[in-house]
Copies of this chain bind each other. A is one copy, B any other.
Amino acid sequence: MAKRPRIADVAAAAGVSTATVSMVLNGTGGRRIGAETSHRVRQAAESLGYRPNSVARGLRTRRTQMIGFIGDDVATTPFAGQMIRGAHDAAKDAGHLLLMTDTGGDPGEIAEAVEALQQRQTDGLVIATMYHQVVELPESAAALPHVLLNSRPARGGCSWTAPDEKGGSEAVLSELTALGHTRIAHLTTAEDVPAKHLRAETWRDLAGPEAADLYREVPSASTPHGYAGALELLRRADRPTAVFCFNDRMAMGLYRAAAELGLSLPDDLSVVSYDDQELIAPALHPGLTSAALPHYDMGRWAVEELLRRMSEPGAEPAGRLMPCPVARRDSTAPPA
């Protein structure tokens, strides 16, 4: 196995200087290279299997074709992996690779992560959170172009993308109202996160005052809590005809509660939800109608925006609410 050829090897093989090789291979240097020379160089590079060493190139050009991806535990959350994939695909399309770090959820560690990535000369930073939230960035981050993924900046000044919770909630609620439901409950979590407030507000607006008492908060957005909350909601004499669950995990608890109470879905009760987790929403029976969190799209957008900002440094930072398309399944029907 021969050693990797260097630019000097192809220069020698083509009988030109390394500068010429560099120029033809990079398409730089305008129209100053003769067609014949150019061809010979390409030929030589090809036959030697030459690949430029990007470390050396990076040292020279100060661009490494790597994007730093900082997560707050991103790899942990099942669906958040789609954010990585979206970011990865967009990066790859532009000839970049993702250099990953995880802070393990410790906001203090983010400055450290920025430092490590800066040291490696990543061209830019994507800072991702697994849940939609507001983040406070260390000022060291400002040294590099960066965009926030699945969260908003506390102090502005940088691009960000987050799910359009209001739009998704409206869409999923209108599945219910379009069928004629008027008594629509909301089963949600007590956790203080943007998603909770945005979904609840939208419900309040669309379900109207007559639904005001059909609101139930439980300590966490888990299946057991969803079950418990659903039980209370569904045992009432003036039981709702439909419920909008904060997320699929809670809806999974509600399915069980409904089954235990002898309610058949969707005839006795319609259900819609949020997140569209692939392990849950299509696996429940009947299939759960749910607004999808656009993780892949957000991931893609984040690095596309990053690349744009890298190429035009003067541009204004952009914020983008990503649409949450509803995955329609079989958990809704007209009220009985």
Contact = CB atoms under 8 A, between A and B. Distances in A.
Interface of A: 1, 4, 51-56, 58-59, 64, 66, 69, 74-82, 84-85, 88-89, 92, 97-102, 115-121, 142-143, 222-224, 227, 249, 252-253, 256, 259, 277-280, 282-283, 285
A136 to B, nearest CB: 19
4 cross-chain pairs, A with B, having the tightest CB-CB distances, nearest first? A78-B78, A223-B283, A75-B81, A75-B84
B76 A82 contact: yes
A249 B283 contact: yes
A158 to B, nearest CB: 15
Given A279-B280, A280-B280, 10 more contacts: A1-B143, A54-B121, A55-B58, A55-B120, A74-B81, A76-B81, A78-B278, A97-B116, A249-B279, A259-B259
Contact of A99 (B56, B99, B282): B99
Contacts of A69: 100
Contacts of A75: 81-82, 84-85, 88
Given A101-B88, A102-B85, A119-B54, A78 B256 contact: no
Contact of A279 (B64, B74, B97, B279): B279
B115 A51 contact: yes
Contacts of A283: 222-224, 249, 252-253
B97 A97 contact: no
A117 B98 CA distance: 11
Contact of A101 (B92, B142, B222, B277): B92
Contacts of A74: 81
Contacts of A102: 85, 88-89, 92
Given A143-B1, A259-B259, A79 B76 contact: no
A247 B130 CA distance: 26
B121 A53 contact: yes
Contact of A76 (B85, B115, B222): B85
A40 to B, nearest CB: 23
A38 B209 CA distance: 73
A77 B81 contact: yes
A31 to B, nearest CB: 28
Contacts of A252: 283
A98 B97 contact: no
Given A76-B81, A97-B101, A55 B51 contact: no
Nearest to A139: B1
A279 B51 contact: no
A151 B1 CA distance: 26
A291 to B, nearest CB: 18
